[in-house]
Structure 1
Amino acid sequence: MAGKPLVLVTGASGNIGAATVSVLAEKYADKVEIRAGARNPDKIPARPNVTVVKAVLGDKDQLKEPLKGVDVLYIVTPGAEDRASLTIRTAEAAKEAGVKFILVVSVPTVILPDTIFGKQLSEIEDKVSKLGIPYSFLRLPMFVENIWGSKDTIVSQSAFYAPQSPDKPAIYIAVEDAAKAGAAILANYSKHNGKGYTIQSDRYANAELAAAFTEALGKEVKFVQVPPEAAKQAMVGKGWPEWQVDGILELLKLIEEGAPVLTAGDDGQALKSLTGEEPTSMKAWVTKNAPGFK
């Protein structure tokens, strides 16, 4: 008996996975069955219309059980250094399990395979596109939410720091918008085979972000440009893996150079075409989240 397609979202305890499961449950429960998977399923929030399972990316034997009966798989590419092999093995397990469609999180710099993140994701996109299963890629730029990493200095010093010129704009995606786009693709997957979507919520420079915080918090918030070496030292000191820090600094260098892939943008048109909704503006995000920075 044909029922609703079964969607499995991996990484459902993380920001993107959890937000996507929420949108699926709230908006598309009449269209799809929802299964939420993570290495530690206890960390997945309980929700109506959602079945929680253990799903370990890259572990083909373990994945047999959570992939049973799954029609649509969303691989939220992990932040691990070996994420290419983890994601590819997961996609191969999906093929063996009879999955009909795979959506994979990628990055805009996939077109720059000489970069750290671009190399990892171009390998993933290449292998997934040759598996023989319908697929799509959701290419996410840097997150608006990254500014939470500067919460302490915004609170205590009324300032945030990065190795960028204050007036160099870049494209950003809000987690909520990424979740809406992913859920829309998963719920209507037959329309998206073979497509790659680079989506953005807004395009702005750090000086504009500082101005938005100044207005929302009622105090002057400054952006301070620092040398890349100082930024790296600070991030590694906070426990970030060095390879990931190098990858982020590489992105910031591309933005500084005005690389179109991270700075040109489309005024949110790709996102709007997927979701039918207006993207989240940076100013709206800051206004909504300002209480968390007080």
Structure 2
Amino acid sequence: MILLSGATGKTGRHVVDRIIADELPARAWVRNPAAADALRAAGLDVVVGDLGDETLLAGAMDGVTRALLLAANTPAQLEQERRFIAAAESAGVEHVVKMSAIGADAGADAVLKSFHGQSEDRLRGASMAHTIVQPNFFMDNLLNVASTIAGQGRFALPMGAGRVGPIDVRDVAEALFISLTRPGHENRTYLISGPDLLSFADMAGVFSEVLGRPVTYVEQPPAEFREQMIGLGLPAWNVDAMLELFALIAQDRNARVTTEFREITGREPRDLARFIRDHAAAFESA
């Protein structure tokens, strides 16, 4: 039995799709009861609740041999991940795969990178096998600015001239799925990226080429981004945590491209042009 936390999230849902397609026995952990019925209909066992519930965690680990640790970015993330790892260890789970982040380090200044780093350290010290997957910048984050790309031919973000190796979330999910279900990935840490090292101005150029019209990148002041996100209803903690990550990008700290996705999967990752074509309806002007 495989336990899948974060089963309905941006990344987890793609892992679930692969699990269902391969008809593997799995238990999906979801926070929203409304998501449970569809997963049950697809043949999965389902647990509904919060990862901070230790009693629920202990029950969810019953009969589990492999588990995916994929927690939401909240102030409670670190404690939830620690409890998940402890519950897995107590239950005799054989292998835990954790989705982490590029630059994860317990001593990192950015709170989310610190959370991931501390969780990684706890997992490496546990009795079961582990795999840690550290993705670079998600291409899918660009869907958050799709409306201005479509309507104004521009997008604004506080990334400066920083470069990233953007990766499609479908490829992140593929790396997690294979690490979880195939042998040979035990006790490994993978830093995965897309094939190209790109600044956000470079990305605007790719958008222009694929969409056949000019798209420009505008460097947005962090304070303006913060005000905009708070105005949209995002919690201040999450916005500030994002801005810490964006500041590192602006400092070129995510300027990494690796071949480790190919090492895991045996194929090349999708490039940004492919991502844009696959999501063309979101980016095309009305």
Same fold (TM over 0.5): yes
Q: Which residue of 2 aligns with 1:126?
A: 121
2:3 pairs with 3, 8, 15, which one? 8
Q: Which residue of 2 aligns with 1:199?
A: 192
CA RMSD of aligned residues (A): 1.9
1:100 corresponds to 2:90: no
Which secondary structure state, in structure 1, belongs to the residue aligned with residue 166 of structure 2?
Answer: strand
Q: Which residue of 2 aligns with 1:137?
A: 132
1:171 corresponds to 2:165: yes
Which secondary structure state, in structure 2, belongs to the residue aligned with residue 258 of structure 1?
Answer: coil
2:147 pairs with 142, 152, 159, which one? 152
2: CA distance between counterparts of 1:132 and 1:273? 26
Q: Which residue of 2 aligns with 1:284?
A: 274
- What amino acid is the match of 2:4? V
- What amino acid is the match of 1:70? V
Which secondary structure state, in structure 2, belongs to the residue aligned with residue 135 of structure 1?
Answer: strand
Q: Indicate conservation of the 8 Å contact 2:193/2:256, yes or no.
A: no
Q: Which residue of 2 aligns with 1:3?
A: none
Q: Which residue of 2 aligns with 1:88?
A: 82
Q: Indicate conservation of the 8 Å contact 1:169/1:206, yes or no.
A: yes
Alignment of structure 1 residues 44-83 onto 2, 5 Å: 44=36, 45-46=38-39, 48-83=42-77
Q: Indicate conservation of the 8 Å contact 1:41/1:52, yes or no.
A: no
**Taking every aligned residue pair, what percent have the same amino acid on both sides?**
26
Q: Which residue of 1 aligns with 2:28?
A: 36
Segment of structure 1 superposing worse, 170-179 or 233-242: 233-242
2: CA distance between counterparts of 1:241 and 1:142? 21
Q: Indicate conservation of the 8 Å contact 1:36/1:51, yes or no.
A: yes
1:62-114 superposed Cα distances (whole Å, 9 cap, x missing partner): 12332211100101121111100011111111122221111111111213523
1:133-156 superposed Cα distances (whole Å, 9 cap, x missing partner): 211211122210001111221222
- What amino acid is the match of 2:257? G
1:242 pairs with 229, 236, 250, which one? 236
Structure 1: which 5+ runs fail to align? 1-5
- What amino acid is the match of 2:126? L
Which secondary structure state, in structure 2, belongs to the residue aligned with residue 18 of structure 1?
Answer: helix
| CA deviation after TM superposition for structure 1 residue 55, in Å | 4.9
| CA deviation after TM superposition for structure 1 residue 43, in Å | 1.5
Q: What TM-score comes out, normalization by structure 1 length?
A: 0.88
Segment of structure 1 superposing worse, 12-21 or 61-70: 61-70
- What amino acid is the match of 1:100? E
Which secondary structure state, in structure 1, belongs to the residue aligned with residue 279 of structure 2?
Answer: helix
1: CA distance between counterparts of 2:128 and 2:267? 29
2: CA distance between counterparts of 1:114 and 1:15? 25
Q: Which residue of 2 aligns with 1:162?
A: 157
Aligned length in residues: 280
Structure 2: which 5+ runs fail to align? none
2: CA distance between counterparts of 1:110 and 1:53? 29
Which secondary structure state, in structure 2, belongs to the residue aligned with residue 191 of structure 1?
Answer: coil
| CA deviation after TM superposition for structure 1 residue 258, in Å | 2.1
| CA deviation after TM superposition for structure 1 residue 265, in Å | 1.9
1:231-273 superposed Cα distances (whole Å, 9 cap, x missing partner): 12112222222232222222222222222xx10222xx10011
Segment of structure 1 superposing worse, 155-164 or 179-188: 155-164
Q: What TM-score comes out, normalization by structure 2 length?
A: 0.90
1:46-71 superposed Cα distances (whole Å, 9 cap, x missing partner): 36453333253121101233221110
Q: Which residue of 1 aligns with 2:257?
A: 265
